[in-house]
Structure 1
Amino acid sequence: MRVTRGQELVDSILELIDRRRLRAGDPLPPEPRLMEEFGVARNSVREALRTLQALGIVEIRHGYGTFVGDASMAALSPSLLFRTRARSRQDLRGLSDLLEVRQILETELTRKVVGNGQLLAALGECVDRMADPATASVADRRFHELIGEAAGNELALELIRLFWDVYRQTESLIGTPTSRPDGLEAKHRRIVEAIATSDGAAVGEAVSEHFDEIRKRIAAG
């Protein structure tokens, strides 16, 4: 695949960040230095920096300069949201794909944290808060974050947040939930019980059941 000059410059700036071992918050060389180093015009540098800013790789602070960003997965939210919506308008394929990847990820992460007593207590508190409609959504998101945090995989934790947020923004495509109001609490409580048993198979069944209602709504759509 042919690489454009613009992409070449983006790649060169990435190599510069890596070569100089710059970390999040560190300043990049000013535009004139980048122009000199790569032999390009100011507009080319600015376009490349805007591309990297959209990806969360750099942060442009007007009046202060350009700094290395934290490259958060949140930067992928608009494209994943667009892709999921676009592929779901005809046959809900986008939501189905998102659900499948999310289940695979969360099943394996949950299996990594079986028997964690401290985690069980925190998850139990989240489940209790799900009984109140005013706090149910926040408690639901926090429940899955806690599992990601306990698993000790920072990338997976960011993906959990990304998938959760995108799903919430696209859920309207499959209508309102069909389960009872207390269903959210019950499904998550079964995951907590499976973690407590330290049974990997039970964890897989509980996480799968957690997504069953969504799967049925997608199939019905």
Structure 2
Amino acid sequence: MSTWENGPRGPVRSRGTTRSQELVDRIIELIDQRGLRPGDPLPPEPRLMEEFDVARNSVREALRSLQALGIVEIRHGYGTFVGEASMATLGPSLLFRTRAHSRDGLRGLSDLLEVRQVLETELARKVSGDRKLIEELTGCVERMRDPATAAAADRDFHERICVAAGNELAVELTRLFWNVYRQTETLIGAPTSTTDSLVAKHAKIVAAIESGDGEAIGNAVRQHFDEVRGRISRR
């Protein structure tokens, strides 16, 4: 059932949560139109109420929604400011989705693995032949030989590929995928790879990047995820 509400340019159709989402979208549009950057203050609530011709509760609900997404930061007693909108804010939702969709056949974890493989394959192809990156990745592989530093070196290895590709979003997504995977890994049990196997798989990715062979890069990245894929299939 639809209703009509007064807007700044006349009646506006409202359908349940549609009105709330519309206000969220319009605040985002305001931030964009005014060129506001992270840390810049938003207009105070009374100004937003007047700007969008809505009640205070509607403004506050929209701002809370935007805060949950990291788009705004509410500092009580100081006002509301533009946030960083980090991908980390999506962590709880992605974690829930992965777990919920993994209750039947581990589909959620398989989907996460597939997206990460596609992303890393294309980024590795983009940076093929990068001498500085190859040296950095080789250093990461050497650190993987020590069980005490292997996990941190593994994470650093994949982040450095994203950084070298110049894709900040990919860096954030890789961190997000890594964190969610670590929190859901109990669904498939502990890793079965030995230290030597871990080193060998990453060394193969380095060699493929150095060669500049796109097909070799794809095969090396795929093989890197084969161990996890194997654990999923055995569940």
Tell me by how many angstroms 1:181 deviates: 3.0
Instruction: Measure the CA separation in 2 of the matches of 1:4 and 1:115.
Output: 49
- Report the number of matched residues: 221
| Greater strand share, structure number | 2
| Superposed CA offset, 1:13-34 (max 9, x none) | 1111111111111110111111
Shift of 1:210: 0.2
Structure 1, residues 54-112: CA drift from partner, whole Å, max 9, x if none? 11111111222111111111111111110000011221000001111110110000001
Query: Of residues 56, 76, 91 in structure 2, which corresponds to 1:77?
Result: 91
Instruction: Give SS of 1:66's match.
Output: strand
* Matching of residue 137 in structure 1 with residue 144 in structure 2: no
Structure 2 residue matching 1:60: 3-state secondary structure: strand
**SS of the residue 1:172 aligns to:** helix
Q: Is residue 212 from structure 1 mapped to residue 221 from structure 2 by the alignment? A: no
Give runs of ≥4 in structure 1 deviating > 3 Å.
none
Q: Spell out, residue by residue over 1:139-197, the C-alpha distance to the aligned partner (whole angstroms, 9 max, x if none).
A: 11111110001111222222111111111111110001112233222211111111111
Residue 36 of structure 2 corresponds to residue 47 of structure 1: no
1:97-108 mapped onto 2 (5 Å cutoff): 97-108=111-122
Instruction: Give the Cα–Cα distance (whole angstroms) in 1 for the partners of residues 95 and 107 of structure 2.
Output: 13
Q: Alpha-carbon deviation of 1:41? A: 2.0
Mark the runs of 5 or more structure 2 residues left unpaired by the alignment: 1-13
Percent of aligned positions that are identical = 73
Q: Is the 8 A contact 2:127 2:209 kept in 1?
A: yes
TM-score by length of 1: 0.96
1:160 maps onto 2:160 in alignment:
no
1:114 aligned counterpart, secondary structure: coil
Write 1 or 2 for the structure with the bigger share of helix: 1
Partner residue in 2 for 1:15? 29
Give the Cα–Cα distance (whole angstroms) in 2 for the partners of residues 102 and 88 of structure 1: 17
Paired with 1:54 and 1:12, the residues of 2 have a C-alpha distance of 17
Query: Which structure has the higher relative contact order (CA within 8 Å, separation 6+)?
Result: 1
State the Cα distance separating 1:125 from its structure 2 match. Answer: 1.1
